[in-house]
Structure 1
Amino acid sequence: MADVAHGVRAALARVIDPEIRRPITDLGMVGEVSADDAGRASVAIKLTIVGCPAADTIERDVREAVALAPGVTSLELDISVMTPAERAALTERLRGSRGRVNPFTPDSLTRVYAVTSGKGGVGKSTITANLAVALAQRGLRVGLVDADVYGFSIPGILGLVRDGVTQQPTRVDDMILPPVAYGVKTISIGMFLDPARGQGSSTAVAWRGPMLHRTISQFLTDVYFGDLDVLLLDLPPGTGDVAISVGQLLPGADVIVVTTPQPAAADVAVRSGVVARQTGQNVFGVVENMAGLPQPDGSVLDLFGSGGGAEAAERLSEATGTTVPLLASVPLSVALREGGDDGVPIVVEDPSDPAAVAIGGMADRIANRPRGLAGRSLNPRPA
């Protein structure tokens, strides 16, 4: 029956591919759809690749959606795999006329934030991961690039590592679909190491500048993030090759500098912000992490001193000639550390924790920044 088949197609349009985050009907994944007079529906679904990690989820969602379509009494589901030509058409449909290029140019509507620090051990990755999840909780489309190639830790913090094995992205020809954790599309060099060769989450990466630059470039060109509101990059500490490459590849990025209250940490944090400014990026603000440990009597124990974040913001304002605010002062939190170890961000596990509240306030500030069109090229084309 045409009416039942039409209802089935309408139901399939509500099934979202969990990796690409678009309806399967828009992706060429739905083949023949039919229904007989008794309401027996027949649906053909085409997965992107053999062994598609989203296969079970897609099948479940299709069955649930079709079961709710008016007039359907049963479903015969045929699942196959796209042909090479169909996959090529899919990648072209997703990338559009731009092809294999970096979509995050200064004309892009995506807000790009590179999170950096002057030194390691200040909690930069923990702040970045929790900020990404907090932004996703606020309804934004968020991507996260773990650009800390030497010390990648984002997959573990976001729960993408299980029993020492890191969840891998899906490859569709030369396009990479990143795993999604807590609503955040995430990519990391740790996802490309082969556990069978002993290249698990504890493997060290020893690369020089050109290799690092090529890796970051491929993350931006080959990984399909779709239309993002915000892209975050977790940079390695310091002012080395990756920071310079990000400045070259993403000249319109804003930089968030993470420091601790300790004066020595704030001093080197200022240097990372200055280098970012020299590469043409804007220093958006400073985050002070480990700002103090709340005590049962209401007092705060300043294990790492106090005032370093405000000092770094003030010095960066002087160095850049612009106002660099202190975005957040995140207190020491056992729950924040435990969340990173367990792969459950504190903003999910305990949003009332003082550290989660501070990160949430920073997320509100970023989420309320409009993606404006002023000064951006719209690239109009004749109809």
Structure 2
Amino acid sequence: MIDDKLLPALKQVKYPGFSRDIVSFGLVSGATVEGNRAVVGLAITTADESIPLKVKQGVEQALAQLPGIEAAEVTVSVTKPKTPPPPAPGQKREVSGPAQQQLPGVKKIIAVASGKGGVGKSTFAVNLACAIDKLLSEQGRPRQVGLMDCDIYGPSVPLMMGISARPEVRDNMLTPLENFGIRVMSMGFLLDETTPVVWRGPMIMKTIQQFAANVDWGELDVLVVDLPPGTGDAQLSLVQTLPLDGAVIVTTPQSVAVSVTRRGAMMFGKVNVPLLGVAENMSYLQNPDGSKNFIFGQGGGEIAARDLETELLGQVPLDPAIGQGSDRGIPIVIGHPDSAAGESFTAMAKNLLHKLKL
């Protein structure tokens, strides 16, 4: 329980290295007022011994500014992560966040994100996963690609992947469902189609943590993570929970989409997640004579990539077959691999595998 008198001050205390406060991170186990004294309990999971002291000092400084509070008693309970800390730089990127979860057997983890909705991010994530799997299988390697749908409020991956079953629980671990060789986990598997997801930040964080810790992903070369649009709790929770190897930013050519994309992508820079590139979706409509009709403008992806100091990975054309395939549960990379859109997804997947050194 957190006393309303103390709540505003505690919300001003940021977790070191993050722009997010300790209350939304769920680190305050209790905060009460006893006369003119504030009593605060903190519960932090970290391997960094400097973090608890920094947070404690931040709380004490914040409480000292409150009128009527003359003393503060701040206790910190520290728990070491159950999983080992990330390896040294150069082997795996380290994130200074609470309770980071390693995924044994998963070589690379990439996030697919966007600054705004409606840019086809989930469609991109699904086809990217299928394209990566296809390329790895052509190299004679076992099909080992996973797709984690973290778009909690709008989980569309099950429909796009043609999966409607419920995951089994074995030894207290959820078993991912599979189609086209891709192992998939989504909130859409766990809810009825008519059930709305009306959740606040801590519940979203807990779900993402469970998708990481309580799903038997097995051995994977690549885990593709589909994020919801924006820079809210899900994105921050993911960065806090998983050691991402990079992020792909999806946009459309429209100026408004590019503007929001830039702001959204800057979040990854603040938490030391490298940008692997920008993908421009709905780039153009190809006419029967081969000419291109730039319905939503032109050059937006290039502008976003330049401003973010990263690479434009590719441009996906408008193709009715993409939407039709998504509705039928057959990604265009599977149903029409030789189409312009299918080839675009495959080319970007090849580029990303090269960047990931796979």
TM-score of the superposed pair, with normalisation by structure 2: 0.68
Measured in 2, the distance between the counterparts of 1:367 and 1:178 equals 23
Amino acid at match of 2:218: G
* C-alpha displacement of 1:329: 0.5
Are 2:252 and 1:260 equivalent residues in the alignment?
yes
1:244 equivalent to 2:232? Answer no
| Letter of the structure 1 residue corresponding to residue 225 of structure 2 | L
Output aligned runs, 1:18-57, within 5 Å. Answer: none
Name the SS for the 1:285 alignment partner.
strand
Match of 1:288, as an amino acid?
A: E
Q: Which runs of 5+ in 1 are unaligned?
A: 1-96, 161-165, 194-198, 318-323, 373-383
* 2:337 is equivalent to residue 345 of structure 1: no
- Identity in percent: 41
Query: In the alignment, residue 336 of structure 1 is paired with which amino acid?
Result: I
For 1:241, the aligned partner's letter is D
Paired residue type of 1:186: V
Q: How far has the Cα of 1:369 moved from its partner?
A: 4.1
Task: Point out where structure 2 has 5 or more consecutive residues left out of the alignment.
Answer: 1-82, 85-99, 138-142
String of CA shifts for 1:327-367, please: whole Å, max 9, x gaps: 11001011111111110010111111111110000111123
Displacement, 1:271? 1.2
Task: Give how far 1:111 is off.
Answer: 1.3
The answer on whether the counterparts of 2:106 and 2:218 sit within 8 Å (CA) in structure 1 is: no
Match for 1:345: what amino acid?
P
Query: Which of 148, 153, 167 is residue 150 of structure 1 equivalent to?
Result: 153
Q: How much does 1:173 deviate?
A: 2.8
Q: Say how many residue pairs are matched.
A: 256
Report the 3-state secondary structure (helix = DSSP H, G, I; strand = E; otherwise coil) of the residue aligned with 2:155.
coil
Give runs of aligned pairs for residues 172-211 of structure 1, distance below 5 A. 172-193=170-191, 199-200=192-193, 202-211=194-203
Q: Secondary structure at the match of 1:236?
A: coil
Q: 1 CA distance for matches of 2:266 and 2:356?
A: 26
Q: Report if the CA contact (8 A) 1:109-1:371 is conserved.
A: no
Q: What is the DSSP-based 3-state SS (H/G/I as helix, E as strand, rest coil) of the residue aligned with 1:225?
A: coil
State whether residues 102 and 243 of structure 2, in contact with CA within 8 Å, keep that contact through their aligned partners in structure 1. Answer: no
**SS across alignment from 1:148:** coil
C-alpha displacement at 1:210, in angstroms? 0.4
Aligned partners of 1:251 and 1:279 also within 8 Å: no
Secondary structure at the aligned position of 1:290 is classed as coil
Aligned to 1:110, the other structure's residue is in SS state strand
Name which of 117, 132, 137 aligns with 2:134.
137
Which amino acid is 2:353 matched to? Answer: A
Q: 2:315 matched to 1:329?
A: yes
**Correspondence for 1:218:** 210
Deviations 1:218-244 (A, max 9, x none): 000110111211011100000111011
d(CA) in 2 for partners of 1:251, 1:143: 15
Amino acid at match of 1:121: G
Q: Which TM-score applies when normalising by structure 1?
A: 0.64
Deviations 1:5-49, CA, capped at 9 Å, x for gaps:
xxxxxxxxxxxxxxxxxxxxxxxxxxxxxxxxxxxxxxxxxxxxx
Which of the two has higher C-alpha Rg? 1
Q: Establish whether residue 103 from structure 1 lines up as the match of residue 95 from structure 2.
A: no
* 2: CA distance, partners of 1:133 / 1:263: 29
How big is the shift at 1:370?
Answer: 5.2
Q: Which amino acid aligns with 2:323?
A: R
Amino acid at match of 2:342: A
**Range with bigger deviation, 274-283 or 247-256:** 247-256
Task: Give, in whole Å, the separation in 1 of the partners of 2:214 and 2:223.
Answer: 15
More helix by share: 1
Contact 2:176 2:215 in 1 (8 A): yes
Residue identity in the other structure for 2:223: L
Q: Distance in 1 between matches of 2:319 and 2:211?
A: 32
Secondary structure at the aligned position of 1:335 is classed as: helix
Aligned to 2:69: none
The residue type equivalent to 1:359 in the other structure is F
